[in-house]
Amino acid sequence: MGKTHYFKLTLLIFTFTTLALIFIFNVGSPETDRSIPTPRGPPPVCPSTISDQAITPLKNTKHFLVSAFMDQRRNGFDIRIIGMFRRDSIQPLHCLFCCAGRLGETTPTTVLVHSDHFGFPFGPTDVMCRIPQDCDPTHVTLLTQPRADNKSNYTWIPIRNKKTSGKHEEKMNFTVCISSLFGDYNNVLQFAQTLEMYRLLGVNRVVIYNTSCGPDLDRLLQSYAQEGFVEIVLWPIDKHFKTTRGWHFSQYGGEISYYGQNTKLNECIYRSMENSRYVLLHDIDQIIMPYQHSNLMSLMDTLQQQHPNVGVFSIESHIFSNKCFDVSGRFKLPQWSSVTGVNILEHIYREEPNRQEFHPYKMIIQPRMVEQTSVHVVLKTSGAQYTVPPGVCRIIHICSCGMKPIEGLHEDKRLWDFHEELIPNVNKALKKVGMLTEN
């Protein structure tokens, strides 16, 4: 056999072998081929940093962000960002969205500083903006420039309430918003009694904004949080602001009024908008008490039937001085003697409000009908407002603020109507955290 013929034969064998191997690898193992994923574009680019704080500084500004909510009740807007802004430093801002893992376009904002800022440099603020087209937003932040820089490390806040338009099945009837817990407040007994009183009245959840409190109260709060009745929002406002307990800047100084109470009340309304039919806005030592109904639901069913267009019900506050004690001593219970705090069942003497002067009211609201609130009045609402007669419902405010002698007070034993259920429930809560004596 000649060399030429041998070379041609070898080349032919090599060619057939190569083609056979290619066929085997590409056709012979289809299962293996299907297991290899097809590339689907670049991986998600956002978020890189998500704020897990209730108060988030906004870069390149003097402002702070709190939370963001879907809110399509106002024409032309989709998102409401709640914040605390320096009022003399408002500048143009732009919403930047994370659209399901990709960086979206920016949209311009409208900045709305609330009218009730009491003269302080910082005030509660809403930032409104639209969602860009073809964007399913999960997170948002604010920029001082109209365009995003792909190289920047943005701090995002999640968008809540992604279904504020249209009907939604309500999960709860009543949420209580406790906006101010700070200092060394350690009034354990009154707080346990108040929470259990809420339960008996039909409250489903209590949201508490906690800057600081005493160790015993903290233990009780954690217990209620574990069972789901209390939601604690950590509020370290003293790390960002010169805080004050006062209401007017000219008298008290500081940077923001009363630990940012107005901001917290607004945040709580939006936090509750999708899961609570009514929101109660009042203080930690107050109970909104029906006097003609056995619980809050019966009260509100009656009021709503009589006033179907009302979204804000104002409730008059009545002081029960904790300096004046029931002389019978009926509820001076020995098992509570070692528990820190005030026993609300011992204080049955009520002051009549001086209605010739400013007298504070607190509120029961329908959150979907409220845009902005202050402490005692709603600032923007789509519904009517109604002042509930005190004979129907009033606030029991048990505090050390009473000034009148006992001879000028009214006896009011409404709390005693609940004592058969209230006392064992309080005992159970205190025993759970080891604060109840055996006897």
Considering only 42-46, 307-311, 413-417, which range has the smallest mean pLDDT?
Answer: 42-46
- State the pairing for strand pair 79-86/276-282: unpaired
Cis peptide before 47 (omega within 30 of 0): yes
- What distance in Å separates the CA atoms of residue 126 and residue 112, rounded to the nearest whole number? 5
Mean pLDDT of 217-222: 97
- What distance in Å separates the CA atoms of residue 79 and residue 93, rounded to the nearest whole number? 14
For 9, other C-beta atoms within 10 Å of its C-beta total: 11
Q: For 140-163, what is each residue's pLDDT tens digit?
A: 999 999 998 877 788 999 999 987
Q: For 243-254, what is each residue's pLDDT tens digit?
A: 887 777 777 778
Q: For 330-357, what is each residue's pLDDT tens digit?
A: 999 999 999 999 999 999 999 988 888 8
Considering the entire predicted model, what is its pTM?
Answer: 0.87
So what's the pLDDT on residue 37?
Answer: 46
- State the pairing for strand pair 393-399/286-290: antiparallel
User: What single letter denotes the amino acid at residue 211?
Assistant: T
Considering only 8-12, 33-37, 85-89, 326-330, which range has the smallest mean pLDDT?
Answer: 33-37
Q: For 254-265, what is each residue's pLDDT tens digit?
A: 899 889 999 999
Q: For 421-437, what is each residue's pLDDT tens digit?
A: 999 999 999 999 999 87
Q: Which residues contact 346 (CB under 8 A, 6 or more apart)?
A: 325, 326, 329, 331, 332
Q: Which residues contact 99 (CB under 8 A, 6 or more apart)?
A: 132, 134, 135, 136, 137, 138
pLDDT band at 42 (very low <50, low <70, confident <90, very high): low
Q: Hey, is 270 helix, strand or coil?
A: helix
For residue 50, is pLDDT > 90?
yes
- What distance in Å separates the CA atoms of residue 137 and residue 303, rounded to the nearest whole number? 39
For residue 103, is pLDDT > 70?
yes
Share of the chain above pLDDT 90, in %: 72
Q: Which residues contact 252 (CB under 8 A, 6 or more apart)?
A: 244, 245, 246
Considering only 193-202, 211-220, 349-358, 379-388, which range has the smallest mean pLDDT?
Answer: 349-358
- What distance in Å separates the CA atoms of residue 132 and residue 135, rounded to the nearest whole number? 6
Q: For 274-297, what is each residue's pLDDT tens digit?
A: 999 999 999 999 999 999 999 999
So what's the pLDDT on residue 27?
Answer: 41
So what's the pLDDT on residue 217?
Answer: 96
Q: Which two tokens stand for residue 201?
A: 């009245």
Residue 201 vs residue 25, higher pLDDT = 201
So what's the pLDDT on residue 15?
Answer: 52
So what's the pLDDT on residue 112?
Answer: 97
Mean pLDDT (the chain, rounded): 88
Domains in the chain: boundaries: 49-160, 172-433
Q: Give the residue from 50, 147, 72, 58 showing the smallest Cα distance to 106.
A: 147
- What distance in Å separates the CA atoms of residue 66 and residue 53, rounded to the nearest whole number? 8
Q: Could you tell me which CATH class the domain 172-433 is placed in?
A: alpha beta
